[in-house]
Chains A and B, each alone.
Chain A
Amino acid sequence: MNGVHDLGGMHGFGAVQVEPNEPVFHHPWEKKVFGIMVATMAQGMYNVDEFRFGIEQMIPADYLKSSYYEHWLESVQKNLIDKGVIKRSELEAKLRSLQRSGRVTVPRRRDPALAQRLIEIAHKGDNYMREPVPARFKSGDRVRPRNINPPTHTRLPRYVRGKTGVIDCLRGTFVTPDTNAIGKGEQPQPVYSVRFNAADLWGEPVERNELVYIDMWEAYLEPA
């Protein structure tokens, strides 16, 4: 979707602000959000593409003014509700009762088998590669990302649409996020590393000796 998350090439955000020696998590609630996301996604309640799409559907102003793990919280909630794992009404009721009681203890529940499984998944990961299918393009081919503007999830950013690039190499056959995020299945296809000159991306006449490499699913591309 043409959301505010699609930030490549935007102006106005100012200097990169680096916090020296920053902690991995800045608040206890961030740790919980991280852990809950891993625990729920690893158990298959939603997939990573649905998770990313959930973040993209935040109100743009909320996305920009909230912190990173607030984005995660929004998406985890949205996905769990959309999938029927929890109901919005019971979540709101739980929140109200916590606000009223002033005591914010939550039950403790132990599940060593789940804990072990999550650690194994953390170290094993998922696998997004699928059996190879015939590839349309090869290294050196000139290609142009298509001017598609789906209102749903895509990993084709606006800054490359319609620009001319060159296939650098084939990365493999991978799950397609555009379909996997909206319940239309994996529909695996070839993914290529495509390189663009800065001049071609940003419309400048001068060659800047800068390239952008980006991974593109075959359906995003047409010959140029």
Chain B
Amino acid sequence: MNKASTHGHRPQPLPDVALRVKALEALLLEKGLIATDAVNKVVEAYENDIGPLNGAKVVARAWVDPTYKERLLKDATSAIAELGFSGMQGEHMVVVENTDKVHNMVVCTLCSCYPWPVLGLPPVWYKAPAYRSRAVIEPRAVLREFGLELPDTCEIRVWDSSAELRYMVLPRRPAGTEGMSEERLAKLVTRESMIGVGEAKTPNKGRKVA
């Protein structure tokens, strides 16, 4: 069917999976087992409120406050909860620290386990076979694809989230960030750096720092 024939705005048939979802949804609604507002509210929470900006705040706090960082590395669940983040798929948190000698990466080879309260829902690549299969056997090659080249002297630790512990990486604080506010620092923390496939951004030189 070419583009011209759809200009009559006849609705396209739903793909098979969308129809199957509607059938399940309709059945569960009719049986009073779910509710439209309940489903929508949960979706909205993970689309809008719960995401990597949470984790970035945790990282920025750890960068500026050494006692917070100590608490974070000792009991991540409690320290993260101090900032108001907690919940599903983050009940048992572990934060692992990058140094100039150690670089950490997080994966779930068996499915897609990921620390939702601090990073939100995982990106497609994290859940797909390529990352899940290769992170444990060739981490350096995977990092290279993400643009991160680490010397052989740097130890790479790959954390396979096989149980209910959820891992977040504390990336290294970039150079040239002395005196920056927590809010500014948080903007440098990328999702990739907290999964461990990248590093935090360096601040723009020559741009006015807000």
Residues from chain B with a CB closer than 8 A to the CB of A121 are: 87-88
Q: Which residues of B contact A128 (CB under 8 A)?
A: 91-92, 164
Interface string of B42-75 (1 = CB under 8 A from A): 1101110011000000000000000000000000
**Could you say which residues of chain B place their CB within 8 Å of the CB of A19?**
123-125
The residues in A between 93 and 111 inclusive whose CB is less than 8 angstroms from any CB of B are: 94-95, 98-99, 104, 106-111
- When C-beta atoms are compared, the residue in chain B nearest to A220 turns out to be B162
* B23-A94 in contact (CB<8A): yes
Q: Mark A3-46, 1 if CB is under 8 A from B, else 0.
A: 00111111101111111001011111101111110111001010
Is the pair A7, B133 in contact by a Cβ cutoff of 8 Å? yes
Residues of B within 8 A of A64 (CB): 129
**Contact, CB under 8 Å: A77 / B24:** yes
A-side contacts of B140, CB under 8 Å:
208, 210
Query: What total of A-B pairs shows CB separation below 8 Å?
Result: 270
A224 adjacent to chain B (CB < 8 Å):
no
- Mostly, the A contact residues are mixed
Residues in chain B within 8 A of chain A (CB atoms): 14, 17-43, 45-47, 50-51, 86-92, 109-112, 117, 120-121, 123-125, 127-134, 136-137, 139-140, 142, 145-146, 152-165
Can you list 25 pairs linking A and B with CB atoms under 8 Å apart? A6-B110, A16-B142, A18-B123, A32-B21, A34-B42, A52-B111, A64-B129, A86-B27, A91-B24, A94-B26, A99-B19, A109-B36, A114-B34, A115-B40, A121-B88, A124-B86, A126-B88, A171-B165, A172-B92, A195-B157, A201-B137, A211-B156, A214-B159, A215-B160, A215-B162
| Nearest 10 pairs of A and B residues by beta carbon | A35-B39, A111-B35, A8-B109, A215-B163, A95-B23, A115-B38, A13-B130, A125-B91, A10-B133, A106-B26
Q: Which A residues fall within an 8 A CB radius of B?
A: 5-11, 13-19, 22, 24-29, 31-36, 38-40, 43, 45, 52, 55, 64, 68, 70, 73, 76-77, 80, 85-86, 90-91, 94-95, 98-99, 104, 106-112, 114-115, 117-119, 121-129, 155-157, 159, 171-172, 174-175, 191, 193, 195, 198, 201-202, 208-217
**Known contacts A13-B128, A15-B145, A94-B27; 14 further A-B pairs (Cβ under 8 A):** A10-B129, A18-B146, A32-B22, A36-B28, A40-B34, A76-B24, A98-B23, A115-B38, A121-B87, A124-B86, A157-B160, A195-B157, A202-B137, A215-B162
